[in-house]
Amino acid sequence: MIKQLELKNFTAFNSLSIHFSPKINIFVGENGTGKTHLLKAAYGLCAVCARLDKDSEIKPEIIEKELTYKFLRLFLPLGERLGRMRRNGVNEQAHVEASFDLDRKIAATFSARSKSFSIEENKNSEQYDARPVFIPTKEVLSLVRGIRSSKADQDTIQHIFDDTYLDLCKALLKPAGKVSADQLDVDPRFGSIFPEMVNTIGGKFEFTDKAFLFRPGVYQERKVSGQHRYSDKTVTVFKRVKGSDLSNNMTAEGFRKIGELQQLLLNRTLNPGIGGPLFWDEPESNMNPKLMKMLVRILLELARNGQQVILATHDYVLLKWLDLLLDKGKADHVCYHSLYHEPESGEVRVESKDQFALISRTTISDTFAEVYDEDVKRALGEE
């Protein structure tokens, strides 16, 4: 779990400090305030620390090399130069820092001419082994076959896709077992999440023959007879429905994004209570608003089972469902972080609150209120 992120003179940020909730974190803000950059920086620090060899003494130069490579692959700066990620118009070094649970921490710097990060502080970061997951804005399920093909030109792939896409492709290809009835009934990561995802989109995605396909069907409860008269029990089983399997490219893009969650849970890349944070950039992209309620229920259930969630969104429907479905009786917690430009200096600042309604600096609610007001005026015949 990541507890705090500090960025100084890094891309859009002059000086920014974020304290994360161990449960759900929502970043909002206008385009250009650096939401994706913030998510990528936090993901990069988590990913590098999780890759380090836990059984060996890690030298600073090894961490510096790993950090440099990962940040270059995540941000793809001009000329593949690290210095291009330093904030424009400043002379000071750029600084990135992350604090994790169990008093672990890593901090590094670089200058305009640096070819590599310099480790400024390392406090047991090599003992951080919770691997994070990053789901980018565009769906990846339909890209897996091409990106991972032995015939694909990997140099071209590396230039087109940053590591949020390539890392996710690799994670999606991790072997996954079949979902059993016992697994659904016993494991809350599946029993309270997986069937709802399948039933909402009318089927499940499965990896076969080097590609994903969509298998239509729903989960239903079925009684199973026991050894004694009163020992019958109910189990949840998948029932195929009429219709042929489809290639994932023939399914809706919003369904494919749900399919990514299905696969990550099945192969335990997304492992609530054990794995690292789930970073998700604009989950609403190409997803019908009707799916938002289901998605919010899933995110809340993941958090209840120990999954830290960090996402960026522009979607009012997603935000409103979070407000309506949050259950403090189940220890739900959402921290809203609003990024905005300071009017005088133009620097990016953050306002963090435990309730979205308390955030003063966000245009999402104002924009929807403006649309509503215009609709009312038209209905009343006003100009």
What DSSP line would sit under 222-283, residue for residue? EEE--SSTT--EEEEEEEE-SS--EEGGGS-HHHHHHHHHHHHHHTTSS-TTTS--EEEE-T
pLDDT (tens place) for every residue of the chain, 383 residues total: 999 999 999 999 999 999 999 999 999 999 989 999 999 999 999 999 988 866 667 788 999 999 999 999 999 999 999 999 999 888 899 999 999 998 899 999 999 999 999 999 988 887 888 899 999 999 999 998 888 888 889 899 999 999 999 999 999 998 887 776 566 666 666 677 888 899 999 999 988 877 889 999 998 887 766 555 555 567 778 888 877 889 888 999 999 999 999 999 988 899 888 899 999 999 999 898 889 999 999 999 999 999 999 999 999 999 999 999 999 899 999 999 999 999 888 899 999 999 888 887 677 777 777 776 787 788 787 66
Whether 198 is in a domain gets the answer: no
The confidence score (pLDDT) of residue 194 equals 87
Residue 32 belongs to a domain with what CATH number? 3.40.50.300
Domain with 106 in it? 2-132+275-379
Rounded to 5°, the CA angle 49-55-58 comes to: 55
Length of the chain: 383
Q: Is 117 helix (H, G, I), strand (E, B) or coil?
A: coil
The confidence score (pLDDT) of residue 186 equals 64
C-alpha count within 13 angstroms, C-beta hemisphere, residue 347: 14
Spell out a b/e string for 104-124, using b for 16 or more CB atoms within 10 Å of the CB, else e: bbbbbbbebebeebbbeebee
Q: Tell me, what DSSP letter sits at residue 84?
A: G
Whether 234 is in a domain gets the answer: no
The confidence score (pLDDT) of residue 227 equals 52
Of 115, 117, 116, the residue nearest 107 (C-alpha): 117
Whether 201 is in a domain gets the answer: no
The confidence score (pLDDT) of residue 181 equals 59
The confidence score (pLDDT) of residue 191 equals 72
Whether 259 is in a domain gets the answer: no
Whether 296 is in a domain gets the answer: yes
Q: What is the longest distance spanned by two Cα atoms in the chain?
A: 79
Whether 205 is in a domain gets the answer: no
Whether 235 is in a domain gets the answer: no
8 A C-beta contact, residue 10 and residue 87: yes
The confidence score (pLDDT) of residue 383 equals 60
C-alpha count within 13 angstroms, C-beta hemisphere, residue 342: 12
- Report the C-alpha gap between 99 and 103 in whole angstroms: 7
Of 64, 15, 28, the residue nearest 359 (C-alpha): 28
Of 346, 327, 287, 341, the residue nearest 311 (C-alpha): 287
If one counts every other C-beta atom within 10 angstroms of the C-beta of residue 134, the result is 25
Q: Tell me, what DSSP letter sits at residue 57?
A: P
The confidence score (pLDDT) of residue 115 equals 94
**Domains held by the chain: number:** 1
Whether 6 is in a domain gets the answer: yes
